[in-house]
Structure 1
């Protein structure tokens, strides 16, 4: 399959791109917003397509030519203001969903956030981010796309363990970014996981077994 990673220059996005390229099972394309990023990926033997999530839906759709699966792992980052949270994490995600529907993309994998579907758990400075994730996920669920929404726990930079827990969680726990990336890559091989939204944290089950249980 041809897989487009939106947010390919982010921490999880980079890992997904690298794992897909190394695995050689799927053709990976990176969506980035700067010309120098296109060149960087090209130097690594990876095709990159240029579009800005603050730009038009048409421009984003143009990056989806011959794409089967879109993975949205983009984010405004913790160093930006609430304006960028709205423009990237919410409106950028919404534009990408609209573009995917127009382009006839078969599948959409969204990287969301644990507890974003529970307003009572939103607190402090995270409220705008959680709200952005909540409404972007809501729109995806109402779309006609075959979606998988992954809501990872608190993200860590520790090495991945390859063991996770998926489902509906009552506690906010953590997970290495590498395990989130590995779960995304493995999920590509489970097309029957359709129109589901699940929490994703570290656990005792292998990624493959956990995904098999969802399929």
Structure 2
């Protein structure tokens, strides 16, 4: 099967200190195609990344659009993997997972960014399938995704199922509506990175679970 030619990009990872974000940063750092810059909230996180040889910028998703644009400046692509976390209330879900995400979309548009990859939530597009115990989170993801889809950006929205800390298999199922399932964070990170340069998933949104198809092939088949 024929795959896209590699394209070199300067990639900003928002939420780089999160569990998926760290894996995305590592993949990009190891990549021969891309350079990576990590956006984190704390100076100590930036210092730890510097020891790994990773460039970073300290910024908050509660900053203004202009401040976020300053953090994004110099990037060709943005990967959004951030989240308010399970220990915060609905107020932070609103400010980070919804408004924070939308502000990065607006900032990226102002800068003329070419690519934006969003890590969303499984079936966030389909209200009847939302997890009843996480309704504010799903609502935030739903409307952040809608804002990205309505933007001028070339986007990809990845909606992973239940997240596992197991070793990745490199094989997944990808589709616009899948049966509920789980997927290792390692495989989510690889799908996100491969989505950057797979033209077939430009301006597409899809669910992601573990499956039987190698990642690059699954992206091509969508």
> What is the TM-score normalised by the length of structure 2?
0.93
46-55 vs 115-124, which moves further: 115-124
1:107 to 2:102 alignment: no
Q: Give how far 1:188 is off.
A: 2.0
Measured on the aligned residues, the alpha-carbon RMSD in Å equals: 1.1
- Counterpart in the other structure of 2:219: 211
1:185 to 2:212 alignment: no
Select the residue among 46, 53, 61 that pairs with 2:61.
Answer: 53
Alpha-carbon distance in structure 1 between the residues aligned to 2:59 and 2:92: 16
- Counterpart in the other structure of 1:89: 97
1:63 counterpart SS class? helix
Q: Give how far 1:118 is off.
A: 1.1
Give ranges in structure 1 of 5+ residues lacking alignment.
none
Give ranges in structure 2 of 5+ residues lacking alignment.
1-8
1:140 to 2:148 alignment: yes
- Measured against aligned partners, the alpha-carbon deviations of 1:115-135 in whole angstroms (never above 9, x if no partner) come to 211111224321110000000
Alpha-carbon distance in structure 1 between the residues aligned to 2:192 and 2:178: 22
2:163 counterpart SS class? strand
Aligned counterparts, 1:14-163, within 5 A:
14-163=22-171
Alpha-carbon distance in structure 2 between the residues aligned to 1:120 and 1:185: 29
Distance 1:191 1:170, change over 3 A: closer
Alpha-carbon distance in structure 2 between the residues aligned to 1:26 and 1:141: 25
Alpha-carbon distance in structure 2 between the residues aligned to 1:86 and 1:67: 26
Q: Quick check: 2:200–2:219 contact (8 Å CA) kept in 1?
A: no
Alpha-carbon distance in structure 2 between the residues aligned to 1:179 and 1:94: 25
Matched residues, number: 214
The ranges of structure 1 where at least 4 consecutive aligned residues each deviate by more than 3 angstroms after the TM superposition are none
Alpha-carbon distance in structure 2 between the residues aligned to 1:72 and 1:63: 13
